[in-house]
Amino acid sequence: MFKLKELAERDRLLKPGITVVDLGAAPGGWSQLARPLLGPKGRLIALDILPMEPVPEVDFIEGDFREETVLRALESKLQGSRSVDLVMSDMAPNISGVDTADQVASMHLAELALEFARTQLKSGGAFVVKLFQGEGFESFVKDVRKLFETVQLRKPKASRPRSREIYLVARNFRVV
**What is the set of active-site residues?**
130
Q: Which residues contact 80 (CB under 8 A, 6 or more apart)?
A: none
- Gap between the Cα atoms of 10 and 61, Å rounded: 29
Phi/psi at 131 (5° precision) = -130, 165
Long-range contacts of 108-112 (CB under 8 A, 24+ apart): 109/24, 109/65, 110/140, 111/140, 112/65, 112/66
Give the residue ranges of DSSP H helices in 38-158.
68-78, 99-120, 137-147
